[in-house]
Structure 1
Amino acid sequence: MTSELLNHRVEGPASAPPLLLGPSLGTSYALWDKVAPELAAAHRVVRWDLPGHGGSPAGLIGPGASVGDLAGPVLALADSLGIERFAYAGVSLGGAVGLHLAVHHPDRLSSLAVICSSAHFNGAKPWEERAALVRREGPAGLAESADARWFTPGFTVPRLVQDHREADPDAYAACCDALAAFDLRDRLAEIAVPTLAVAGRQDPATPPAHLREIADAVPGAALVEIPGASHLAPAEQPEAVLTALRTHFGGPVRRGMEVRREVLGDAHVDRAQARQTPFTARFQDFISRYAWGEIWTDPTLSRRERSMVTLTALVAHGHYDELGMHVRAARRNGLTPEEIGAVLLQTAVYCGVPAANSAFAVAQRVLEEEAAG
C-alpha cells in the first residue's frame, strides 16, 4: 500500500460547500466533464479517480479489496484538502463508496446522491470471474464491450472507453473484488443523510429496480429515473443529471428561493415563476442561485443595509420598474418610509436631482399603495 492520494481535480470557489464526485469502474473523473463545471458554480467540486484509473496510483488497493478500502482514500483526500463534511455523488462503484460512507462515516456526509448504482451488484460470481479475466488478460478486451454495457445504442464517449482500456489490471481486478463483496441492503435504513437515487431507465447493469430498492429503504430518500440513459448517465444525459443534482444538493438555489420570497414576497415570486419559459429558465436559476442564494445570504451586510444599497444602485441606473419592487422589499426588510426617503435624498446628491425626482415619484406611489392596502 502507499500513502499517496487519489488523483483528483478541484473546481469552484474554495469557500463554497464541498461536493465530491465518484466515478464508475473503468472510467476516470472525465465521466463528470459535462456536469462538474456547472456544479462548480455553487460548490467546491472535487472529482477523483479510482486506484489504477486515470492518474491514481494502482497501489492504493490490492487483491481482496472492499468498498471500505476505496472509501478510506476518499476520506484521506478530503482530509488533505481541509474538508470535514461534504456532499457526495457517485456513479456505480462510486455510488457504492457513497453508500459505505453514509453507513460507516455519517459524520462526514451532508447529503448523498447514488447514480446508476446499487446496494449490491448481483452476487459475487460475475465479479470474481471478471477479476480473474482481467488479471489474466488485462482490461483491453473488456473495453471492446464497454459501449454496450455503458451507453444506449449508438452513443459513446471515446475518452471513457480509452480510460477502461488503460486501467491498471491489478487495480481494476481489486475493484471487481470490492464489488463482489459489497452488499449493504441490511444497512440502508441506517442512512440518515438526505439521499437521492438516480436511475438510467435503459441501464442493464444497475436497472431502475436497484435504485428503487435504495430509495424505498433509505428514510426520506427520493428517486429520479432518467430516460435515454444507460449506466453512465452523467456522460449520456448530463443536463438531466445536473438538474437532479442541483435540486437535491440545493444549497444556494433552495436557500436563494427562500430568501427571494422573504424579501420580495410570495406574490411577486409566484408571478415570476408563472412567466418562466424554457428560454428564461436558466436565467431564473441564475438569479435564485447567485443573487439570492449567494449575495443576499451573505451575513456581512444586514438585509436593511442591502435594501439601501439596492435602492441607490437602481436609482443610479434608472431602473425605476425594479425600484418599485425594491421599495416594497425595503419595507419588508424593516426600513421606514422616512429612511427610504433619506436614502433617495442621498441619491439626489450622488446620482443627480432628476434621477432622485423620478425615484421619489415611484416610491411615493408604492408607499401610498401600501398604506391604502
Structure 2
Amino acid sequence: MTDRHVTDRHVTVEGRTVALTEHGDPDGAPVFLFHGTPDSRLGKEFTDAPARERGLRVICPDRGGIGGSDPLPDRTIAGYAGEVLALADVLGVDRFATVGYSAGGPFALSCAAGCGTRITGTALMAGAGPIDDRPGAKEGLAPSDLDAVRLVEEHPHREALLLRFQKWATQLAPSSAVDQVSSELSAPDREFLARRPAGEEMTFFVEALRQGPAGVMDEYRLWAGPWHLQWSAVATPVEIFQGEDDGMVPMHHAEDIASRLPPGTARIHRLPGVGHLSIQDHVGDVLDALTTP
C-alpha cells in the first residue's frame, strides 16, 4: 500500500469550526484545494504523493454546512475569498495558490478575484463555470446536477429527501451507488472508477451529507445564482485543465471562464481522452502549472 501523509483536523475560524484535510509536505508551499458538489474534504488522497514530490502542502477544507464545517448562513461565492483569508490566518499561511475541482472552481475563482496579493496562482480541474443567461450554458452538464439545481429551486423538500435517500443507499450498498454514478460518465471515467474500491470512492459523498442536505443544497443554489465576482480583479495566472471527454462539465465552460478573465490571464490545457474523474491522474501537471513560472 502506498504510504500516505494525510492529516484530518478541525480548526476554529472566527468562532466557527472548519474541517480540513492536509496532504503532501506539511512544511511545503501551501495550496488550497476546493472540493466539488456533492463532495467534501475526504477522498483527495490523489494529491498526496504528487504534492510531496513537489514540496507542496495541499489543504482541503469543507465549506459551510459540508462535512465537519459549521454552517455559515447567507454565504456567497464572492464572499468565500474572505473565508479563505481568515482560515489562512489561523493556519499561519501567508501566500498560497488554489485549485478548484469541478464545482469547487467558482470558489477558487473567488479567491483569485478577492484575495489580492496573497494569492500566487489559480488552477481549475474540470472547473464548473456560471450557468447564467449565456446561451447553452447548461448544455453538456451532468443530468444529475441539472436535476438537483432544478429541484433545489422548484421542490426543495423533494431534493432534501432525495439526498437523504442517496446517502442511506450509498452507505448500504456503495457498489450500487458507483454503478448509478457510472451511468452518466464517459468511458475514461468508468475505467477510472473500475480501478478503485467502491466504498472508498464514495466516502466523500457520505461525508458531504453528514449534517444533512442543507449544505449541499446551498452549493447548488450558489452555483446556479449570480456569482458577483469582480472578474477584472484577477491579476495572477489561471490555469484551466479540462478533459475533452468530460461528461459532467463540458469544454465550453472552460472557454467561457477564460473569456471572462482579463486578457492574458487564463490558459486552457485541453486533455484528450480525459474525463471528469480521470483528470485526477493529471494532478501533478496541475500542481506543476501553479509552481512553474
TM (normalized to structure 2)? Answer: 0.70
* Per-residue Cα deviation, 1:183-214 (whole angstroms, up to 9, x for no partner): 46x84343211110111222233211111222
How many Å apart are 1:5 and its aligned residue?
A: 3.4
Output the CA distance in 1 between the equivalents of 2:40 and 2:230. Answer: 28
Q: Match for residue 317 of structure 1?
A: none
Larger RCO: Structure 1 or Structure 2 (Cα < 8 Å, ≥ 6 residues apart)?
2
In structure 2, the partner of 1:243 is 285
Match of 1:129 in 2: 151
Matched, 1:226 2:271: yes
Instruction: Note the alpha carbon deviations across 1:99-129, whole angstroms, 9 max, x for none.
Output: 1111222333110001211330347996252
Q: Tell me if 1:203 matches 2:246.
A: yes
- Structure with the higher helix share, 1 or 2: 1
Aligned residue among 41, 46, 51 for 2:64: 51
> Do the aligned partners of 2:23 and 2:47 also contact (CA within 8 Å) in 1?
no
Q: How does 1:135-284 map to 2 (within 5 A)?
A: 135-141=160-166, 144=177, 145-149=180-184, 152-156=189-193, 158=198, 159-166=200-207, 167=209, 168-183=212-227, 187-218=230-261, 219-220=263-264, 221-232=266-277, 236-246=278-288, 248-251=289-292
Structure 1 Cα separation of the partners of residues 247 and 227 of structure 2: 19
Q: CA RMSD in A?
A: 3.1
Q: What corresponds to 1:261 in structure 2?
A: none
Q: Which amino acid aligns with 1:129?
A: L
| Larger radius of gyration between Structure 1 and Structure 2 | 1
SS, match of residue 16 in structure 2: coil
Q: CA 1:126/1:136 → structure 2, altered by over 3 Å: closer, same or farther?
A: closer
- Where structure 1 has 5 or more consecutive residues not aligned to the other structure, the ranges are 255-373
- The question of 1:96 aligning with 2:106 is answered yes
Q: Give the % identical residues.
A: 21
Measured after TM superposition, the shift of residue 171 of structure 1 is 1.1
Q: Secondary structure at the match of 1:211?
A: helix
Question: Is contact 1:200–1:226 with CA below 8 Å preserved after alignment?
Answer: yes
CA distance in 2, matches of 1:196, 1:171: 28
Q: How far has the Cα of 1:225 moved from its partner?
A: 1.9
Determine if contact 1:127/1:177 at 8 Å carries over to the other structure: yes
Maintained 8 Å contact 2:41/2:204: no
SS at match of 1:60: coil
Q: Figure out how many residues of one structure are paired with residues of the other and give that number.
A: 244
Tell me if the contact between 1:66 and 1:182 (Cα under 8 Å) persists in the aligned partners. Answer: no
Higher strand share: 2
Cα distance in 1, alignment partners of residues 86 and 33 from structure 2: 15
Distance 1:187 1:74, change over 3 A: closer
Q: Which residue of 2 aligns with 1:19?
A: 31
